[in-house]
């Protein structure tokens, strides 16, 4: 058998050449066709990934603008003790970008002195109907404060007597004054 293998090699060498190792032209063309098909698909996938990341960044920042707008409303309501149905809009600057917000406060259906707050946020350079984030919250319109309790608490804090900040309906902790 060994003699037969040597004979094939000898006849191949005598026929004029040594077999070359490498790719044929057809194999190279098939490989180039595969690369030509997959490279644009890969590029499109990477571009879509970048677009999705930018959209999520914008949506997250719009959420922050809506949360800030709601916090400002809560502070305004706490200061004025007034909450009423209204529509308003404005601009905000966050992350070196301009944002626009629209807020609508409506009476909640079926519940007295209860309001629904809807805040819609979008980029300022986009058209008015392009909303990136919408926040809905509910707030009570019953803003009465028991002034006797708050006056006592603020007087005690001014005195530095924070241990006496009780509202009258609390019981002492066991192991402290008045406990067993």
Q: Is residue 148 part of a domain?
A: yes
Q: What is the mean pLDDT of residues 132-158?
A: 68
Q: What is the mean pLDDT of residues 126-148?
A: 83
Q: What is the mean pLDDT of residues 45-51?
A: 93
Total domains present in the chain = 1
Q: Is residue 96 part of a domain?
A: yes
Q: Is residue 45 part of a domain?
A: no
Domain that holds residue 66: 54-162
Q: Is residue 75 part of a domain?
A: yes
Residue 147: the pLDDT is: 57
The pLDDT tens digits for 66-81 are: 999 999 999 999 999 8
Would the pTM count as exceeding 0.85?
no
Average pLDDT, the chain: 80
Residue 128: the pLDDT is: 82
Q: Is residue 127 part of a domain?
A: yes
Residue 52: the pLDDT is: 95
The pLDDT tens digits for 90-134 are: 999 999 999 999 999 999 888 888 999 999 999 999 988 899 999
Q: DSSP of the chain, one letter per residue?
A: -HHHHHHHHHHHHHTT--PPPS--HHHHHHHHHHHHHHHHHHHHHHHHHHHHHHHHHHHHHHHHHHHHHHHHHHHHHHHH-----EEEEEEEEETTEEEEEEEEEEEPTT-TTEEEEEEEEEETTS-TT--SEEEEEEEE------HHHHHHHHHHHHHT-GGG---SS--PPTTSTT--
Q: Give the domain CATH number at 141.
A: 3.30.1300.30
Q: Is residue 179 part of a domain?
A: no
Q: Is residue 12 part of a domain?
A: no
pLDDT range class, residue 2, cuts 50, 70, 90? low
Residue 32: the pLDDT is: 96
Q: Is residue 171 part of a domain?
A: no
């Amino acid at each position: 058998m060994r003699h037969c293998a040597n004979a094939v090699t000898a006849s191949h060498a005598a026929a004029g050449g040594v077999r070359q190792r490498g790719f044929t032209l057809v194999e190279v063309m098939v490989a180039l066709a595969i690369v030509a098909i997959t490279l644009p698909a890969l590029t499109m996938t990477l571009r879509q990934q970048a677009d999705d990341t930018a959209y999520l960044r914008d949506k997250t920042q719009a959420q922050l603008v809506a949360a800030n707008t709601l916090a400002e409303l809560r502070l305004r309501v706490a200061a004025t003790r007034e909450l009423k149905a209204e529509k308003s809009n404005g601009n905000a600057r966050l992350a070196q970008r301009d944002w626009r917000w629209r807020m609508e406060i409506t009476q909640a259906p079926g519940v007295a002195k209860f309001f629904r707050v809807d805040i819609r946020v979008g980029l300022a350079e986009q058209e008015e109907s392009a909303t990136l984030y919408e926040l809905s919250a509910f707030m009570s319109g019953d803003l009465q404060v028991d002034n006797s309790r708050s006056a006592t608490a603020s007087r005690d804090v001014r005195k530095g007597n924070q241990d006496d900040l009780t509202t009258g309906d609390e019981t002492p902790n066991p192991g402290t004054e008045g406990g067993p």
